[in-house]
Structure 1
Amino acid sequence: MDALATARNSSASPPVEHFDVLIVGAGISGVGSAYHLTTQSPGTSFVVLEAQESFGGTWLTHRYPGIRSDSDLHTFGYRFKPWTSAPIATAAEIRAYMGEVITENGLEKHIRYHHQISSASWSSTTNLWTIEAERTDTGEALTLTANFLWMCQGYYRHSEGYTPEWRGMETFKGRIVHPQRWPDHLDLAGKKVVVIGSGATAATLIPAIADQCGHVTMLQRSPTYFRTGRNAIELAETLRQLQVSEEWIHEIVRRKILFEQDTFTRRSFTEPEIVRQELLGGIRAALGPDSDAVIGKHFTPSYRPWRQRIAFVPDADLFQAIKGGKASVVTDEIERFTKEGILLKSGKTLDADIIVTATGFNLNVLGDIAFEIDGAPLDFAETVTYRGMMFTGVPNMAWVFGYFRASWTLRTDLVADFVCRLLAHMKSKGARKVVPALRLQDSNMPLSSWIDPENFNPGYLMRDMHLLPKRGDKPEWQHSQDYWAEKDEFPAIDLDDAAFAYD
């Protein structure tokens, strides 16, 4: 009986699968990284574990009306696959594009959905990561091992968005909705809707629902910068008329946009007041010449341009909704919720049937996975970042964390190039382990927060900065957020530098 029971238990436990590389997440970063692994490191065994039911990441999680990119797809798209449609794309268009990448490159067989990772443990005895996961569709527990862990899970918690706790929320007789968990079949017809927040989500959502509801009000604590313009690239249209190939168009337009973004970003530091007036001028053109009072109160931030993300508003649709009277803006602070809506600190009230909390998300540090190094819990806040993609004391791991002032995917490509080069370098050295380590010349280096708040300070970072790794005052030990420098610096990284300890 004992032998029979042992046999049954053995057959019930699935074998431990091993891979050279395990990629966490099948969003824009995970799919891109998988592509680069197949093309730059052929023969590498790998698997992509995704907690959701399909690929897409943020473009699958968010299903609120009108969801679209706030970066152009010529740079948010991958460098290896031309984008052939309007630069600002819907979630459905982005997922269709990603689906083509998966199909065209045979990535389906590497991706496993409904796989939620609970823990990842590194052993210096075996030089392996052991990953514990659960199949959320079946409840099956799984164990996998990998030589290298590639974290592509994004930077926010997909299961829940961030909603502040306001007094009286429980008394509101209407419905409170966070865009990250938009309900199916929400009836907006004739309803009074208040959207709390003025970031990219609010700017996307409001024009999308303005024609459906009775009226929608954007309630903001303080103004945000927006850029307006046509949802088209004139150069791309011209090149298509000339029957230039899409591959050439993609590369030419991509370079043009990156050049213009670099110029604009640098100008926001060197001539911020001129840039401010240019941004406000775009809004004035949309709202009309008599809108100075509205712009002064509701659309003129107190901070320098680019200290927080600037959302692009295609065809000025948000401002057209405001100009047409379907939407309005209130700049005030919330005193408390009431049965009928919101009481503001000014004493004014906003009646509402539905309140949408477009108030951001909860920062997610490496997927809420419990990490251990040789049996000791890992606190990433105690590590120092190597160029925003590796961590001191953490072996065989890379992290994709994109750009705030440029498209996220640009860094996906750069990190992938680095990781594939690092894997090849390890193979040539016969090394099974690499750990970033501070060098002798870094011993007295001052450490500070992941991002300089004087440079960039959105709420979602400020709330949880204490969870993120530290940065140093040298280029190797910080995430510069400067794509235009990193595109040249990353290929030149010396993999035999003392910052890399091999075993």
Structure 2
Amino acid sequence: MTQPSHPTDTADIVVIGAGLSGIGATKYLMDDFPDKKVLLLEGRDAVGGTWDLFRYPGIRSDDSVHTYGYEFKPWLHEEAIAGGDLIRGYMEETITEFGMDEILRLRHRVTAADWSSEDAQWTLHVTVTDEAGNESHKIVQAGFVFSGTGYYKYDEGFEPRFEGREDFQGDILHPQHWPADYDHSGKRVVIIGSGATAVTMLPAMLSGEGAAAHVTMLQRTPSYVASMPRVDKIAQFLLKVFGKKLGYRLTRIKNIWRDHFLVTVLVKFPNFGRKLLRSMTVKELPAGFDVDTHFAPPYSPWDQRLCATPDGDFFEAIRNGNADVATDQIERFTEKGILLTSGKVLEADVIVTATGLVMQMLGGIKPTVDGTPVDVADTVLYHGALMSGVPNWAMMLGFTKATWTLRIRNVTRLVADVIREMDRKGYDTALPVPPEGMATQSLFDLSAGYMQRAQSELPRQGAGKPWRMHTTFVRDNRLFKGRLIHRDLQFSKRAVEAPHLVSVEAAS
């Protein structure tokens, strides 16, 4: 049922999305601009983003939360690789602790965004859902928008078309839409996929009182899987000796440089990386296990993300005999399971399609600028955050070879510098304009299927500063040193006052 529209609301800065990125960005922007009105809009009925959406068995981080968390709020739980419930709790604490609950608007889903050069503001069209499920419509006008909406569709996971799907007599589930309180106890489970989700779910579905009878991970292509400690003993030592604030800071520095070193070595010396990861895998698996079939990917380390298994729980499940890996292709689903191209049949009561994400920019919002629709794929990102041809809008994109959230502070610093420049010079519009004829390239450098499928929908980047971003924190962080306001950012006043654009050099 649709109710009458709400009145128009206004804000200086609107952050869209109360996941890890949006919450972090809101905290920084509130600190940077205590006198400006900031609003945090979230379409769901709870904060958390990914960590509120995904509820499949074992859902956890695959990075240390000491680094994945915020620099301004120490992660104090013993587990460095933490479950989704702990991460959700951490985010809820952050909202309350830093007063963001006062500016948070839950069940406020932004459906469209229109920029007016004449008014120098964004008009956001918002669908508001009350606790009874009734919808109303609201307008929020903003001087600047920060999109912390993530990079994939929340209402749709990627599922290939499997022949015979309708013949299967058991349950077919996608991790992105896991039923609440689903009982898999005593069942034979086949998980299709070899990424982080499959590696997480396999041991989780075999643990506890409601354990499955057997779990098979069915993969077309192997992944690199590496064991890492669930509890970071060095972090615990640093926190104990140096206290929460300094110990946490030292832990983050340690993790950043450790991860950068490992990625650099594996990328620069891929043959060494293959041998190293293979030797580590052999030690984790039973004698005689066919490592070269099931754990020897055809690509180099970090062409796709490595899958982490805390304390080797994935390998332990295989050693215990209740789990196995099948490397093959699917011929079709049958009544009782899956027929493989090799002729083998995997019998199953439950099939889990851990087959990936559907990428989506800006949470599906299709912005317009003075009535002209923006095709995000036609834009080039200034410092990996500001879209060319789109005024006063930033988007949060993280790293593919480092912890995603390490980029939040730098992106919000860029936004703050842009807003301060406008305030200082009396301008109200900042527009990234790339040099004419500038060569562009893909934004991400992973060969993962979900990224390759979305290449035609993703923004692009240039070859050099300020139109470039790097995929590791250490390298990308260097691009944010010094002045971030470049001549390719053009500033202007409202069209009714001064229709011409002013470059930063002319304005200085």
Given the two structures, how large is their TM-score scaled by the length of structure 1? 0.93
Residue identity in the other structure for 1:98: M
How far the C-alpha of 1:13 sits from its partner, in A, is 4.3
- In structure 2, the residue matched to 1:3 is none
5 Å-filtered alignment, 1:368-407, equals: 368-407=364-403
Aligned to 1:49: 41
Which structure 2 residues correspond to residues 266-281 of structure 1 after superposition, within 5 A? 266-281=264-279
Equivalent residue for 2:259? Answer: 261
Change in CA separation of 1:336 and 1:484 when aligned onto 2, cut-off 3 Å: same
Shift of 1:14: 2.7
3-state SS of paired residue (1:247): helix
2:182 aligned partner: 186
2:4 and 2:396 map into 1 onto residues whose CA distance is 36
Residue in structure 2 matched with residue 97 of structure 1 by the alignment: 90
Q: Secondary structure at the match of 2:324?
A: strand
2: CA distance, partners of 1:172 / 1:393: 49
CA distance in 2, matches of 1:444, 1:38: 38
Task: Measure, in 1, the Cα distance between the counterparts of 2:155 and 2:328.
Answer: 29
Q: Where do 5+ consecutive residues of structure 1 fail to align?
A: 1-10
In the alignment, which of 432, 441, 446 is matched to residue 439 of structure 2? 446
Mapped partners of 2:178, 2:390: distance in 1? 37
Tell me by how many angstroms 1:457 deviates. Answer: 1.3
Tell me if the contact between 1:151 and 1:398 (Cα under 8 Å) persists in the aligned partners. yes
Which is further off, 24-33 or 375-384? Answer: 375-384
| Shift in CA distance, 240/390, structure 1 to aligned 2, threshold 3 Å | closer
The reply on whether 1:471 has 2:470 as its aligned counterpart is: no
- 1:325-336 mapped onto 2 (5 Å cutoff): 325-336=321-332
Distance 1:191 1:41, change over 3 A: same
Q: Is the 8 A contact 1:131 1:144 kept in 2?
A: yes
The structural deviation recorded for 1:277 is 2.0
Q: What does residue 4 of structure 1 align with?
A: none
Quick one: which of 241, 248, 259 aligns to 1:250? 248
Deviations, residues 205-253 of structure 1 (Å, cap 9, x unaligned): 11011141111100000110122122122322333453x2111111111
Q: Does 1:488 align with 2:478?
A: yes
- Show CA shifts across 1:58-85 (max 9, x none): 0000001110000111110111111112
1:116 paired residue number: 109
Q: 1:402, 1:239 → 2: CA distance? A: 27
Q: Mean alpha-carbon deviation: is it higher for 343-352 or for 266-275?
A: 266-275
2:491 is aligned to 502
Checking the alignment, whether the CA contact within 8 Å between 2:15 and 2:148 is kept in structure 1 is yes
| C-alpha displacement of 1:387 | 2.1
- State the distance in 1 between where 2:59 and 2:359 align: 20
C-alpha contact 2:6 2:136 (8 A) present in aligned 1: no
**Percent same amino acid among aligned pairs?**
38
Question: 1-side partners of 2:246 and 2:461: how far apart?
Answer: 38
CA contact (8 A) 1:154 1:401 kept: yes
Shift of 1:183: 0.5
Q: Distance in 2 between matches of 1:493 and 1:285?
A: 49
Query: 2:499: which partner in 1?
Result: none
Q: Which residue of 2 aligns with 1:77?
A: 69
For residue 497 of structure 2, what is the aligned residue in structure 1?
Answer: none
- 1:68 counterpart SS class: coil
Counterpart residue number, 2:308? 312
SS where residue 115 of structure 2 aligns? strand
Q: Which amino acid aligns with 1:382?
A: D
Q: Displacement, 1:478?
A: 2.9
Alpha-carbon separation, structure 2, partners of 1:431 and 1:486: 29
TM-score (norm 2): 0.92
Q: Is 1:20 aligned to residue 18 of structure 2?
A: no
Please state how far the C-alpha of 1:394 moved relative to its aligned partner: 0.4
1:151-201 per-residue CA deviation (whole Å, 9 max, x = no partner) reads 000001111211111111111111100001101222212211000001111
RMSD between aligned residues:
1.5
- Structure 2 unaligned regions, length at least 5: 493-508
Question: Paired residue for 2:199?
Answer: 203
Deviation at 1:315, TM superposition (A): 0.4
Provide Cα deviations, 1:6-33, integer angstroms capped at 9, x if missing partner.
xxxxx95432111001111000001001
Q: Is the 8 A contact 2:256 2:473 kept in 1?
A: no
1:428 — aligned with what?
A: 424
> What is the CA–CA distance in structure 2 between the aligned matches of 1:449 and 1:407, rounded to whole Å?
20
What is the CA–CA distance in structure 2 between the aligned matches of 1:40 and 1:312, rounded to whole Å?
Answer: 36
